[in-house]
């Protein structure tokens, strides 16, 4: 990639001119493709074994609980341990977990409780991975590139959701869920190689204070820093109310759209298409401030979820999911950048641990009550209710978000 192509001060791709950021981003793009394949295959496997949205909610709950328990600790360790070594450790163990799932699936021994247990284990490992990775990013780019870098990091995760889920649908149809788990285990080699080639991260903190005291300090920052508190409240609402549509997608595809594994793969890939558009959307519309961008994007996401729940067919659903992916990525990227630039660099790991709770933790926790609701009302009604509540939450938080960023 030519440097001149990235020279514009507002270029969405400008952070990729930094070698270490480019290495990490590329490795994550490959690894996350495998992660998305496993995400789709796990949901499909649970739905196939149970034919119940309730168990998809249980699966999400199993992923939520470890995040609430371990993410604050993961954030504290990201501030005091070598972040590169921490990422090596977490990704190595995630690869081992995928291998266990391969063995259980291809031998036919797999049961729902196996899948739920391994999902909880993976969530615990990711509780240490996410704060270390996100808190490292601002030191890999220039200060005025943090929002673009965070958005590109979101693209590496959600943009891989285009290839991963689409490929997963075909692979499941041809070779079963176990083949997806094999490919995910192999994909971790990319991020491990990227980490090996990267330079050393900033030196960790002294770690003189007990870990619990450092976690309490991060909680104190969240309570006293108006920007951080407001943004995390918005992120919690967005994820708890607006994002369960994604975890409940297998049930929606079966109940409402009557589509197969290939159709499910396309549905779960569609938000990734929107995510690829997010860097340009964020660059074009951030002038009103990241707080306003967060509020507008959350409103739009809620509206997209409502309309998606009313989808009359697959094409309509796919178009709305592309829009939902765009607004979801823009909202979370804005929130991430606001949080990281509002705290001292020595606090970033701990605060990003709490951010992880409000992002992934609230998303998976919200999927449980909506899964229970879907069992009673049908998946479409449950998702529509979540979308309406997302719009109301964004409207309520609008004045506060307008004063940050």
Whether the pLDDT of residue 286 is over 70: the answer is: no
Least confidently predicted of 153-167, 185-199, 244-258: 153-167
pLDDT in tens, 387-405: 999 999 999 998 888 887 6
Report whether 32 contacts 160 (CB < 8 A): yes
Q: Give the per-residue pLDDT at 131.
A: 87
Overall average pLDDT of the 350-361 stretch: 84
Q: Give the per-residue pLDDT at 179.
A: 95
Q: What is the rounded distance in angstroms from the CA atom of residue 364 to the CA atom of residue 80? A: 28
Terminal Cα-to-Cα distance of the chain (whole angstroms): 32
pTM of the model: 0.77
Per-residue tokens: 68: 């609430």
Q: In CATH, what class is 14-200+210-401?
A: mainly alpha
Report whether 272 contacts 32 (CB < 8 A): no
Cβ burial of 42 (10 Å; 0-12, 13-18, 19+) is buried
Which residue has tokens 């699936």? 105
- Closest Cα to residue 359, out of 114, 88, 150, 86? 150
pLDDT in tens, 289-338: 788 899 999 999 999 999 999 999 999 999 999 999 999 989 988 898 88
pLDDT in tens, 107-151: 999 999 999 999 999 999 999 998 888 888 888 888 888 878 887
Cβ burial of 200 (10 Å; 0-12, 13-18, 19+) is exposed
pLDDT in tens, 184-205: 999 999 999 999 999 877 766 6
Q: What is the rounded distance in angstroms from the CA atom of residue 340 to the CA atom of residue 348? A: 6
Q: Give the per-residue pLDDT at 255.
A: 93
- Count the residues in the chain: 405
Print burial letters for 256-265: b (CB count within 10 Å at least 16), e (below 16). Answer: bbebebbbbb
Whether the pLDDT of residue 10 is over 50: the answer is: no
């Amino acid at each position: 990639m030519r440097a001149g192509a990235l020279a514009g001060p507002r270029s969405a791709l400008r952070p990729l001119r930094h070698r270490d950021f480019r290495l990490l981003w590329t490795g994550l793009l490959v690894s996350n493709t495998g992660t998305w394949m496993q995400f789709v295959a796990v949901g499909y496997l649970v739905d196939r074994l149970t034919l119940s949205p309730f168990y998809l909610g249980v699966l999400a709950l199993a992923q939520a609980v470890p995040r609430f328990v371990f993410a604050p600790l993961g954030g504290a360790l990201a501030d005091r341990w070598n972040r590169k070594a921490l990422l090596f450790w977490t990704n190595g163990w995630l690869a081992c977990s995928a291998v266990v799932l391969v063995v259980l699936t291809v031998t036919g021994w797999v049961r729902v409780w196996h899948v739920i247990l391994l999902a909880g284990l993976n969530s615990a490992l990711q509780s240490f991975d996410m704060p270390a990775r996100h808190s490292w990013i601002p030191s890999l780019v220039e200060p005025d590139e943090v929002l673009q870098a965070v958005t590109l990091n979101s693209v590496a995760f959600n943009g891989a959701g285009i290839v991963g889920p689409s490929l997963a649908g075909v692979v499941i149809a041809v070779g079963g869920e176990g083949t997806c788990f094999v490919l995910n285990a192999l994909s971790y080699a990319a991020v491990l190689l990227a980490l090996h080639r990267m330079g050393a991260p900033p030196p960790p903190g002294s770690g003189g204070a007990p870990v619990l005291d450092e976690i309490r300090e991060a909680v104190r920052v969240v309570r006293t820093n108006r920007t951080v508190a407001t943004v995390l409240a918005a992120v919690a609402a967005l994820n708890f109310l607006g994002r369960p549509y994604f975890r409940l997608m297998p049930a929606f595809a079966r109940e409402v759209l009557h589509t197969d594994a290939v159709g499910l793969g396309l549905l779960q890939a569609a938000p990734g298409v929107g995510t690829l558009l997010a860097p340009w959307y964020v660059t074009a519309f951030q002038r009103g401030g990241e707080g306003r961008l967060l509020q507008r994007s959350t409103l739009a996401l809620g509206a997209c979820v409502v309309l998606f729940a009313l989808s009359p067919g697959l094409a309509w659903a796919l178009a709305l999911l592309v829009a939902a992916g765009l607004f979801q990525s823009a909202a979370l990227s804005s929130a991430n950048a606001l949080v990281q630039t509002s705290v001292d660099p020595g606090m970033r790991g701990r605060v990003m641990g709490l951010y992880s709770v409000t992002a992934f933790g609230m998303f998976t926790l919200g999927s449980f009550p909506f899964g229970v609701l879907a069992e009673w009302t049908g998946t479409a009604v449950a998702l529509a209710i979540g979308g309406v509540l997302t719009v109301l939450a964004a409207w309520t938080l609008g004045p506060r978000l307008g004063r940050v960023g």
